[in-house]
Amino acid sequence: MMGEKLRVAMIGYGFMGKVHSNAWRGVNRFFPQAPEVEMALICGRNEAALKDAAATFGWKETETDWRKVIARSDIDIIDVSTSGETHAEISNAALAAGKHVICEKPLANTSEEAQSMVKAAADAAAKGVQSMVAFNYRRVPAVAFAKQLVEQGRLGTIYHVRAEYLQDWIVDPEFPLVWRLEKDKAGSGALGDIGSHIVDATQFITGSHITSVSGQMKTFIKKRPLLAALDGGLRASGSEKMGDVTVDDAAVFTANFDNGAIGVFEATRFATGHKNGMSVEISGSKGTLSFTFESMNELMFHDHTLPATEAGFRRISVTQAEHPYVAAWWPPGHILGYEHTFTHEVYDFLMGIKSGKAALPSFADGLNVQNVLKAVEASSNNESKLTKVN
């Protein structure tokens, strides 16, 4: 197979389908050392919308039945960019069929589903088939550089982890009951959708795992207009048809890490004024680093080993060729954007296939994040008592 084009089929064509398509289209142009790919097929349920997506994003074929896609002998990679309730079924079937699988986050809707995916991935890996869960924020150059600073000991003993992910896109009570607000489809609300990102990012940067949590979850608006009751856009048409919101609007929790650090986490889609406010700050005995995605090309770093006269945060412009991933792109100071993180993600996945050494995060890493989310939910249901992560 190696030396020939790897033929990719993507399941799903919404928001994640759009950014994944862009990544598949550009990866060989900027990372020529990666195996060559062909955007062979895109799959979804709405045939008309699917054909539009294929023409727009650059896919050669369309198919409305994902099972037929997996059964094809000419498909090498399955990109699972669907809603969470389908991740386990599609990924497990694809791995069993010998397809390499990259699956969007969170890995599944439940820890039990994620556990089945870990087993399927392990069985497939024994046959040389690779898998990866798609936590794209690991691929922000500044986040990857932050991990390097921690590994170099620049922060010393880590004491504190602070992380938040703030959005405001569902503050309007007339915003409809989309699938992300239904537990049977999304698994959870802000906790799983965006909280999973900061759980993974902090564990990635620190190299440590969360061992216990104490959390609260809150749903502020419990009923919303059904999609069928909308007229044109995202506003209710005057119909009184309403549906129940079955996920959290916001989640907050404290955490203990296995390196002795404590953490504070907040994930909400009700933080007015914040569109994609993902931030991480980590403090240790020798320094502190601070990152916010809305300034994604920068990392703030305080070196506490310097004299007091030189104390304070300095801004590092993470745009040098020596920084992670950056050499493939533009000259120093020519900043990258959100879409580049997915190209980096696809590149790492392809290099894992090429080398035979699976790229991270693995499905096991995805299960670990799922177990943290499960523990937060259990703690919230138990009036915020400390809950161990299994």
Round to whole Å and give the CA distance between 154 and 156. 6
Pick from 225, 200, 207, 217: nearest CA to 138:
200
Q: What's the whole-number mean pLDDT along residues 203-221?
A: 97
Convert the pLDDT of each residue in 158-211 to its tens digit. Answer: 999 999 999 999 999 999 999 999 999 999 999 999 999 999 999 999 999 999
Spatial distance between the Cα atoms of 226 and 186, rounded to a whole number of angstroms: 16
> What's the pLDDT score for residue 270?
98
CATH domain 6-137 topology: Rossmann fold (3.40.50)
pLDDT > 60? residue 318: yes
Assigned superfamily of 140-336+368-381: Dihydrodipicolinate Reductase; domain 2 (3.30.360.10)
pTM, 2 dp: 0.94
* 182 φ/ψ angles, rounded to the nearest 5 degrees: -120, 120
229 pLDDT band (50/70/90 cuts)? very low
Phi-psi label, residue 299: left if phi above 0, alpha if psi -120 to 50, beta otherwise: beta
- Answer yes or no: are the C-beta atoms of 106 and 84 closer than 8 Å: yes
Q: Give me the chain's average pLDDT, please.
A: 94
Structure tokens at 281: 């700050």
% of the chain at pLDDT higher than 70: 95
Q: What is the pLDDT of residues 324-364, one digit of tens each?
A: 999 999 999 999 999 999 999 999 999 999 999 999 999 99
| Burial label, 66 (beta-carbon count in 10 A; 0-12, 13-18, 19+) | buried
Q: Tokens 């995805």 sit at which residue? A: 366
Half-sphere exposure of residue 325, counting CA atoms within 13 Å on the CB side?
25
Q: pLDDT by residue (tens digit) across 354-376?
A: 999 999 999 999 999 999 999 99
CB 129 within 8 A of CB 99: yes
Sign of CA dihedral 46, 168, 104, 223: negative
Please report the pLDDT score of residue 390 as a whole number: 82
Sign, CA torsion 318/324/326/332: positive
Residue 230: beta bridge partners?
236
- Locate 44 and state its tokens: 């979804």
pLDDT of residue 215: 96
20-35: per-residue pLDDT in tens? 999 999 999 999 999 9
Q: Looking at the chain, how many residues does it have?
A: 390
The whole-angstrom separation of Cα 173 and Cα 83 is: 23
How many CA atoms does the CB half-sphere of 77 hold within 13 Å? 28
* Region 81-107 average pLDDT: 97
pLDDT of residue 235: 52
Domain locations along the chain: 6-137, 140-336+368-381
Q: What contacts 24+ positions apart, CB below 8 Å, involve 387-390?
A: 387/212, 387/213, 387/214, 387/215, 388/211, 388/212, 389/209, 389/210, 389/211, 389/212, 389/213, 390/111
Q: How far apart are CA 229 and CA 227, in angstroms?
A: 5
